[in-house]
Structure 1
Amino acid sequence: MDTGYRIIIADDHPLFRSAMHQAVQMAVNGVDLQEVDCITSLMQLLSETTDIDLLLLDLKMPGASGFSALTSLRHQYPDLPVVIVSANEETAVVQQAMRLGAMGFIPKSSPMPTLVSALNIILEGEPWFPAGISLKDIPEDNIAERLASLTPQQFKVLTMLSEGKLNKQIAFELTVSEATVKAHVTAIFRKLDVKNRTQAVIALSQIE
């Protein structure tokens, strides 16, 4: 496969970044490959770089806990293909990644040929998940699904609520009116089926 793909590996373990780097180079010729070891560096890179073809994202690294990073990325960069690469291979974790819009899930225990094969399939535009796992066993009333229904601005407001910020502070930071913030908060409550800020913040924490 000879292309000019631009790929980011986001993982805080140097040895695994090296293994993924090798797998990517075996799957793709002439790839522009960049690596980051924390969410802060990832967000900075994404803000400076355009046309990223694929992000290989570890679930646990500095600045990320559980699915918080994936959820945030899906809202801020909805067109960015994200593949989770994780040591946690539980079926429920893989299903949650599916529900939140990941394009794939590659267990870290996968042998090199599997890594290369998975990357080839994903870069052809097809999702790749471990065999035998589907969404059929996930309850329909899934908090991840409700969070995924938020708009990017609503998710940003919810994140700021979780930081304990008041409507006035949120309005100032987002350069919008307090009335706009209140409208976002009302929409967040409705979409998450909660009645107050505390319940909304708890809902967000459930994906971490």
Structure 2
Amino acid sequence: MNLRFLIVDDHPICRTAAELIVRASYPDAHITIAGCLREALGLADHPDVILLDLLLPDSSGVATVTAVTKAFPLAKVIVITAAGADETDKLETRNVFGPIAKSAPMSTLARAIHRAIADTSQNGGSDILLLESIDERVATLTNAERKILEAMSSGHQNKQIAFAVGLSEATVKQHIKAILRKLGASNRTQAILMSLSGAPDPSDPN
């Protein structure tokens, strides 16, 4: 059964970024979008995981989380916010993860999603294996491919990458094709997000 995600955010760019992060690891997931709390609560389909902006047009703060967890008691809720720590430092309880700052790296949200989904299953085995699978795919990249993928993650185009790594643009294109094939990614964006999902989180002391 495919996982069901609900993204609740009133900012289109943030919604799109969250959807890309989900798709990078769970391409077959069913994703529903809501721009406000009322729209989210009106959904008939109950999600497995909710990515929830804490500050919505019609609700904010802990009241938002309370309303969502009451409506969807079995869902894992990942709180994403631009609010200060003083507003969100006591949010994390059972089934609620975060808060994740909107300024955090994409890998932080990706790992929060993996953590929440692993907690959803009885032993979390399949989801832990998924993260390990991404790590294993990234590990198959050559040094040159890793450098090119890092440059891609920085937003560089092929011509800039070629100059930076000292290769022809044609060779860079061949490397990118190999990167997509090895990672099982359909495009550059998915390859970048997959590499970030498997990358160590700099904020993780472990």
Structure 2 length-normalised TM: 0.53
* Alignment of 1:82 onto 2:87: no
Corresponding residue for 1:124?
118
Q: Secondary structure at the match of 1:42?
A: helix
Judge conservation of contact 1:82–1:103 (CA < 8 Å) in 2. Answer: yes
* More divergent stretch after superposition (92-101 vs 104-113): 92-101
Q: How many Å separate the matches in 2 of 1:36 and 1:105?
A: 19
- Correspondence 1:30-69 to 2 at 5 A: 30-45=28-43, 48-50=44-46, 52-69=47-64
Structure 1 length-normalised TM: 0.53
* Alpha-carbon offset, residue 32 of structure 1: 0.3
* Alpha-carbon offset, residue 38 of structure 1: 0.8
Corresponding residue for 2:105?
111
Distance 1:6 1:35, change over 3 A: same
% identical aligned pairs: 26
Distance 1:101 1:32, change over 3 A: closer
* Alpha-carbon offset, residue 58 of structure 1: 0.5
Q: How many Å separate the matches in 2 of 1:99 and 1:31?
A: 25
Q: How many Å separate the matches in 1 of 2:15 and 2:42?
A: 19
Q: How many Å separate the matches in 1 of 2:92 and 2:110?
A: 20
Q: How many Å separate the matches in 1 of 2:17 and 2:63?
A: 25
* Alignment of 1:15 onto 2:9: no
Residues 130-150 of structure 1: CA deviation (Å, up to 9, x unaligned): 758xxxxxxxxxxxxxxxxxx
Q: How many Å separate the matches in 2 of 1:124 and 1:100?
A: 14
Q: How many Å separate the matches in 2 of 1:93 and 1:101?
A: 19
Corresponding residue for 1:174?
none
* Alpha-carbon offset, residue 120 of structure 1: 1.7
Corresponding residue pairs, total: 123
Amino acid at match of 1:7: F
Residues 150-187 of structure 1: CA deviation (Å, up to 9, x unaligned): xxxxxxxxxxxxxxxxxxxxxxxxxxxxxxxxxxxxxx
Distance 1:100 1:88, change over 3 A: farther
- Correspondence 1:133-172 to 2 at 5 A: none
Residues 25-68 of structure 1: CA deviation (Å, up to 9, x unaligned): 112130101111011110111xx113x11011111112112111
- Correspondence 1:185-204 to 2 at 5 A: none
Distance 1:18 1:54, change over 3 A: same
Amino acid at match of 1:38: C
Q: Secondary structure at the match of 1:104?
A: strand
Distance 1:88 1:27, change over 3 A: farther
Judge conservation of contact 1:27–1:117 (CA < 8 Å) in 2. Answer: no
* Alpha-carbon offset, residue 104 of structure 1: 3.2
